[in-house]
Structure 1
Amino acid sequence: MRGLRVLPGSPARIGVHWDGEATSFALFSAHATAVELCLFETADARFEAERLPLPERTGDVWHGRFPAIRPGQVYGYRVHGRFAPQEGHRFNAHKLLVDPYAQAITGALAWSDALFGHDPAQPDAPDPRDSAPCMPRAVVVDPRFDWGDDRPPRTPWSRSVLYECHVKGFTQRHPDVSPEQRGRYLGLASPPVVEHLLALGVTALSLLPIQHACIDAHLARLGLPNYWGYNTLGFFAPDARFASGSRGEQVRECKQMVKSLHAAGLEVLIDVVYNHTPEGPPRGPMLSLRGVDNASYYRLRPGDPGEYVDFTGCGNSLNVSHPRVLQLVLDSLRHWVTEFHVDGFRFDLAPVLARDPEAFQRFGRFFEIVRQDPVLAPVKLIAEPWDLGAGGYQLGQFPLGWTEWNGRYRDGVRRAWRGDPGLIGELATRLAGSSDVFDSARGPLASVNFVTCHDGMTLADLVTYARKHNEANGEEGRDGPHDDSHNWGVEGPTRSLRVSKRRERARRNLIATLAFSQGVPMLSHGDELGRTQRGNNNAYCQDNEISWTDWSLDDDGRAFLGFVQRALRLRHANAVFRRRRFFANGDGSEVRWLRRDGEEATPADWESGALACVALWIPAAAADPADEAGRPAAAETVLLLVNPDAHAHAFTLPAPARPGVWHELLNSACETRRRLDKSVVLAPWSLALLAHREPS
């Protein structure tokens, strides 16, 4: 490899790019004194075969162009500079570094003390050991791919139903997916899986992180994996865990997954973690950014640059207030849209991106740049609207064009349906779109409604366990959030028919509430199949049957799946559930809340807390006549009867001005489809959806 010809290249495009003639390398580091490109003869070679200095520095970008370097070349960096931790500088050229802009990564991280940039015995001194044998490496990628006539589905928010999904966990146990594709990108886009998703009624997959992640030190000590992947090492690289290989296969197969899902009309959104990195606190390992330019990439504590500001609980926070770090985030987002054709992003701990310098800024630089960017502005943008810093809970505070995971929806709906007293008003507010959380300019579609997600119990566990059972995580049950769960009389699996029926009804209530609420519904993968994690509500380190979806169904399981499918079909068929604006208060032309006697609920009824149940009447005229794309939207008048009480209640049905009959479309307590006249009795802990139709 010696004698490679090197050209100056250009600083204009950071990263590594093969253009068919040569490979260009460019790396930002404001405080480095030299940058070496390390070339490996094989992916598993312990040390590099050649070190080549990047010959040019333009401003703070180091760059060079190499005609002899081709796709498939395995490489890393060594960056020289001062090791002065108390000043924020931690350069150590003994440490091999992963390119922050790597488009593919090969090899696993092997945890060792050699990964640390500092001497463990003397934290202010550099460690002299070479970390190359322990490190994953970047791979030069040929970006060419035949997209054919691929087009993004561009499903309007009003017609969207999200499905949060783990690439491996969803397909690893699917009997009809070929063994070589189970747990991989191609398995997720295989015909049996696509058929299930379309029959279910979802429109978009919201994938847990597929950017290349690595294991945490404490998990490595416990012998556990980082299954979820919220520990991103490569912001531009698809995770090789889900591919048949790691030398570029992950890039091709991820693109093929998106192309196949698009062909079925399904959008692909990905979870992104731009708030922290796997390098952890200041005395954590040196894997990439810390060794490239610690003082630029991380938020240093004011007055004490040897320490970090940590808004994430993970030991560090990316310094997105620095222009080049903000550029890395934006370049990564554009890369996933232009190169992988993804349709949107869910931002983990999103307030971190808007802290400028420390307080959350609703109209900060990140939001303004995204809003004006022709590549990013059209895609779906979803915020997890909280982080662990001061003032970190920012639900409802994101700008126009963003949607947010609505944690108040999750908590309120769970508590109301488990029978907590005095929450009928809370449940009504969530059904109506959470106008107390989001301003009128954003409307109900700013709310991503969910009752379960990856973080917490599955739907089946939510009604089976009253407490978490996280023993398998190796932390003696200290980890994991508190779920508003309810076991309905017995902790864990039971043979009691009475308890089982109550649990089944509770699941149906939660699913139907989700389907018929204003806003954007999101299901967690496998909930429709009764997926259980055996009470584990923090299965981030369980890459096994605790997390993997079991596709085998008994008669009760098939009945529940049919219920979920029917609830979503009813949502898709009726535009009254998909409004872009909040209901107007006043004359009842858009919505009426009725007591069980058929009379409209008064402010005094709501304030007294005496309402045990309620009915939501929405006339067909309240629906938007067309969706965001201008397509006509069919609608019919509905009455949603909600009884989260432990007693049965009789409802007097209202008589609309137009002649007709109330038809029962869905009932969480029974399978009947009745025609109703003047009243109906609703079973304890149940709901029913009625539609008013003219006589045939």
Structure 2
Amino acid sequence: MTVPGTSRPAAAPAPAADPRRLGVHLTGDGADVAVHAAHANRVELCLLGEAREDGTRPEERVSLLGPVDGIWHGHVPGIEAGQRYGFRVHGPWDPDAGLRHNPAKLLLDPYARAVDGEIRLDPAIYGHVADDRLAPVRAEPDGRDSAPYVAPGVVVEECAAEPGPGIGWEDTVLYEAHVRGLTMQLPGVPQHLRGTYAGVAHPATIAHLKQLGVTTIELLPIHAKFPEPFLTAKGLTNYWGYNTLAFFAPEPSYATRSSRAAGPEAVLDEVRGMVSLLHEAGLEIVLDVVYNHTCEGGADGPTLSLRGLDNAGYYLHDDGAPGRLVDVTGCGNSLDFRRTRVVQLALDSLRYWAGEVGVDGFRFDLAVTLGRDGARFSPRHPFLVALATDPLLRTKKLITEPWDLGPDGWRTGQFPAPTADWNDRFRNATRGFWLSDPREASRGHVTGHLRELATRLSGSADLFGHGEVPGGRGPLGSVNFVTAHDGFTLADLVTYDHKRNAANLEGNRDGTDDNRSWHHGVEGPVAPDSPAAEIVPVRERSMRNLLGTLLISAGVPMLTAGDEIGRSQGGNNNAYCQDNEISWIAWETTGWRGDLLATATSLLRLRREHPVLRPDRFATGARLDGDDVPDLSWYDETGAPMTPEAWHEPQRRVLVMHRSGAPWGDADALVVLNGSLDERRVQLPPGRGGDYELVWDSAWDHPDEREPTDESGNGHHVPPGGAVEMESLSMRVYLVPRLE
């Protein structure tokens, strides 16, 4: 097979200074080049010239030396920053053995720091023969040159980043957002910066984040991506970005038009500028990263990078049939973390983003795949051990999505320190107590999540109290959330019982049916002049209950961007392909939306000012260090301690939690929950002896609405043992100043 192009007539390149340092690194009079292709018999570095009008580029090829431990390498003089390049790999074509080398395909360097342009969907980007509908025709190598259709890598200068603000886990509040969706409609952000990296760091965006009180923005993937062909065929795109093309390169489409016009180096500079400006404002940035699979899809997918370099070495496959991929991600392929080069690729990528771009941490998508030794997950997997011991990475925030779709894929609480896990049990218990349980009660059914909710309120010791050291990771090992990018928004949780995903063009079959939501009697939005308008205040109170539970529980809270102002996706609970108003935040802050924003801000201020509302250790239920009260106590609505039998009564819907502030030199906190459909009279426990001061009530539309709501006549100060009237489906937070 021959491919148009020219080979450099000069002698073979000199060896790279360090053949095992993968990627292209400027040094001396050129660059050291190294790429892993263990089964190849020749690898060519392709240096690309300026694009012609037809999209093709002049191409100069240099045959690399090797292999050394499967790595091909060389020092190539004359390479400078801005050079576009790729690889062509010669070797056996044997799909049954998992080998798919095809030199007609220009391959992206997995270590490329930047990419130029975007991939165009065409049969030529497939290693096998595909027809115009991209369906496989023959399992033989396709001879069409893919270079005009793919995005080459770009050589960039290296640099070191300044460290971020270093916010402790005990003070952290995560805010999950999408680069585009966050600012596409944000007032104050200029039109040319909306939906960009620069827009994320614009003063208007920063002002909102700082006023709200979050500390750490967690961005959905910004690695360069390539949408699934089936989405492109429908005129849709992978908006969320969980389909990675390059693990070192930023997604170009999120950059400003001026940066894209200036070239890939300017795109990278915009990302670095975003990180720097956020740090200057005292904010951290965490990246959602997808090392569990790539955009090359299943065996019938395109050949863009890893598949053409070493398909059998990078992708998880059936040991008895190497040509058959094992998919534990639901995305067609899974990276094989039994392989040294796969582990190295992920670690090198993480070090780059932390050390040279300056990000403060990472959230690992489908992290169980990263800890699999084939079918078996191990918390002592070499990759996870490396994260815990790497001098740079162990200092960053490391967050796992602790599940995948493979065997025994649910592993919440089973990852090792210093990682923190997304706690889906917290999400389910909170939604269950405030939404699905009352929904069933309104239909005459009795269900109960009281015991489960108490466990989550107190930090999920059943999940995070175990590990290699006594006490496990503690409550800060739990990332608590009620909503995330995947699923209903906060407003949609109280508005819909059923998903509305028609816009995804999958017949409403996609997305989960386990929403644990409650429309409160009417499906969908309710007009103000509708006879059903009476349910609107209850919906709003339910949102405040969910926020309140999230922000006073032990653990690290995560808000989803826009929930603080009641963002809706119209009931779409799987908006991964909706790069439009369905997913973008509509920044309306008037009326009830403004009240909700004030509530979220007030709760976060309370949390920030009172460490008793964000404990960093598990409670014991005992009196510690001479304290007058236990560090954590539970009471029923009569003010009596909860008995073992009471915890198992499904009809019980009132719970009182008393948390001592003594370990933090703070006031005590009393949280009263009424999850029943009726008003309840609740007698407050004796506590420490001082009056209880009401600081927040979910019955308040606005946190400044501090009118007395109890019968005691004491307004917001209630004596120990005093009784209060609790609105149906409501919660309160009281503080008890310590007596000196």
Q: Which amino acid aligns with 1:232?
A: T
Q: Of 510, 516, 521, which residue of structure 1 is paired with 2:546?
A: 510
Contact 2:365–2:400 (Cα < 8 Å) also in 1: yes
Give the equivalent residue in structure 1 for 2:630.
Answer: 589
Q: 1:338 to 1:144 in 2, by over 3 A?
A: closer
The question of 1:553 aligning with 2:589 is answered yes
Is contact 1:488-1:499 (8 Å) kept? yes
- Counterpart residue number, 2:434: 417
What does residue range 303-382 of structure 1 map to in structure 2 within 5 Å?
Answer: 303-382=320-399
Alpha carbons 1:36, 1:79 under 8 Å: kept: yes
Q: CA deviation at 1:342?
A: 0.8
- Tell me the residue number matched to 2:734: 690
Quote the residue 2:33 is aligned against.
Answer: 25
Given residue 254 of structure 2, which amino acid in structure 1 is its aligned partner?
F
Residue 493 of structure 1 corresponds to 525
Find the aligned partners of 1:330 and 1:691 in 2 and give their Cα distance: 45
Paired residues for 1:19-58 under 5 Å: 19=27, 21-43=29-51, 46-58=55-67
Contact 2:436 2:516 in 1 (8 A): no
CA contact (8 A) 1:449 1:514 kept: yes
CA distance in 2: counterparts of 1:368 and 1:695, whole angstroms: 47
**1:118 aligned onto 2:116:** no
> Are 2:715 and 1:672 aligned?
no
Tell whether the 8 Å contact from 1:298 to 1:319 is kept in structure 2 after alignment.
Answer: yes
- Residue 463 (1) aligns with residue 489 (2): no
Render the CA deviation track for 1:198-239: whole Å, top value 9, x for unaligned: 111111011100111111111011110110000001000111
Answer yes or no: is the 8 Å Cα contact 2:51–2:57 preserved in 1.
Answer: no
Amino acid at match of 1:140: V
Quick one: which of 107, 127, 130 aligns to 2:142? 127
Structure 2 counterpart of 1:667, one-letter code: D
The one-character-per-residue Cα deviations of 1:122-158 (angstroms, maximum 9, x if unpaired) are: 543111111122211111112347x5xx432111111
| Equivalent residue number for residue 191 of structure 1 | 203
* Structure 1 segment 146-161 matched on structure 2, within 5 A: 150-161=162-173
Q: Give 2:118's match in structure 1, choosing from 94, 108, 116.
A: 108
For structure 1, the 5+ residue unaligned runs are: 626-633
Change (3 A) 1:218 1:122: closer
**How far did residue 586 of structure 1 move?**
4.6
* Counterpart-to-counterpart distance in 2, 1:531 and 1:43: 43
CA distance in 1, matches of 2:178, 2:329: 22
CA displacement at 1:12 relative to structure 2: 3.1
640, 651, 667: which one aligns with 1:599: 640
Distance 1:204 1:4 in 2: 52
Contact 1:450 1:522 in 2 (8 A): yes
Question: Are positions 1:543 and 2:579 aligned together?
Answer: yes
Shift of 1:21: 3.8
Q: Report the equivalent of 2:675.
A: 644
Cα distance between partner residues in 1 of 2:303 and 2:51 = 20
Distance 2:64 2:435 in 1: 66
Matches within 5 A, 1:100-499: 100-120=110-130, 122-144=137-159, 150-244=162-256, 245=260, 246-420=263-437, 421-439=447-465, 440-482=471-513, 483-495=515-527, 496-499=532-535
1:20 to partner: Cα distance = 6.5
How far residue 32 of structure 1 moved from its aligned partner, in angstroms, is 0.6
Query: Is the contact made by 1:274 and 1:348 (CA closer than 8 Å) also made in structure 2?
Result: yes
Q: Secondary structure at the match of 2:272?
A: helix
Mean CA deviation greater in 672-681 or 385-394: 672-681
Between 150-159 and 502-511, report the one with greater CA deviation: 150-159
Aligned mates of 1:636, 1:585 — CA distance in 2:
17
Secondary structure, counterpart of 2:463 in structure 1: coil
SS in 1 for 2:576: helix
The CA distance in 2 between the partners of 1:283 and 1:541, in whole Å, is 22
State the secondary structure of the residue aligned to 1:508: helix
Q: Secondary structure at the match of 1:569?
A: helix
SS in 2 for 1:430: helix
SS at match of 1:546: coil
More deviation, 275-284/63-72: 63-72
Find the counterpart in structure 2 of residue 97 from structure 1: 107
Aligned to 2:710: none
The one of 8, 15, 20 aligned to 2:15: 8
Q: Tell me how far apart the structure 2 counterparts of residues 357 and 90 of structure 1 sit (CA, whole Å).
A: 22
Q: 2:73 aligns with which of 57, 63, 78?
A: 63
The two structures have a TM-score, normalised by structure 2, of 0.90
Say whether the 8 Å CA contact 1:573–1:635 is kept in structure 2.
Answer: no
CA shift, 1:540, in A, is: 0.6
Partners of 2:590 and 2:165 in 1: how far apart?
34
- 1:554-573 superposed matches below 5 A: 554-573=590-609
Q: What corresponds to 1:663 in structure 2? A: 693
Contact persistence 1:39–1:73 (CA under 8 A): yes
Partner of 2:444: none
Partner Cα separation in structure 1 for residue 189 and residue 137 of structure 2: 53
Pair 125,654 (structure 1): closer, same or farther in 2 beyond 3 Å: same
TM-score by length of 1: 0.95
AA aligned to 1:219 is L
Q: What is the Cα deviation at residue 314 of structure 1?
A: 0.7
Q: Aligned-pair distance for 1:398?
A: 0.6
**Per-residue deviation, residues 326-376 of structure 1 (Å, max 9, x unmatched):** 111110011111111111110000011111132001111111122221011
Out of 62, 87, 98, the position equivalent to 1:77 is 87
CA displacement, residues 573-619 of structure 1 (integer Å, 9 cap, x when unaligned): 11112222211035661111111111111111112334221110112
8 Å CA contact 1:203–1:266 kept in 2: the answer is yes
Question: Is the Cα contact below 8 Å between 2:51 and 2:58 reproduced in 1?
Answer: no
Structure 1 residue identity aligned to 2:646: D
CA shift in 2, pair 1:558/1:153, >3 Å:
same
1:139 partner amino acid: V
Secondary structure at 1:37 match in 2: strand
Determine if contact 2:621/2:633 at 8 Å carries over to the other structure: no
Q: What letter is aligned with 2:631? A: E
Name the CA distance, whole Å, in 1 between partners of 2:106 and 2:639: 72
Alpha-carbon deviation of 1:4? 7.1
Give 3-state SS (helix, strand or coil) of 1:544's partner. coil
1:519 aligned to which of 540, 546, 555: 555
For the 8 Å contact 1:39–1:48, the answer to whether it is kept is no
What is the distance in 1 between the residues matched to 2:407 and 2:117? 38
Q: Is the 8 A contact 2:48 2:57 kept in 1?
A: yes
Query: 2:593 and 2:458 mapped to 1: Cα distance?
Result: 30
C-alpha deviation, 1:503, in angstroms:
0.9
Aligned residues: percent identity?
44
* Aligned-residue offset at 1:170: 0.3
Question: Residue in 2 aligned with 1:630?
Answer: none
Please tell me whether the aligned partners of residues 328 and 405 of structure 2 are also in contact (alpha carbons under 8 angstroms): yes
Q: Residue deviations 1:72-105, cap 9 Å, x none? A: 1111111110101111110011111111111001
Look up the match of 2:725: 681
Provide the residue aligned with 1:629 in structure 2: none
Q: Secondary structure at the match of 2:357?
A: coil
Please state whether the residue corresponding to 2:666 is helix, strand or coil.
coil
Structure 2 unaligned spans of 5+: 1-5, 131-135, 438-446, 466-470, 624-628, 708-715
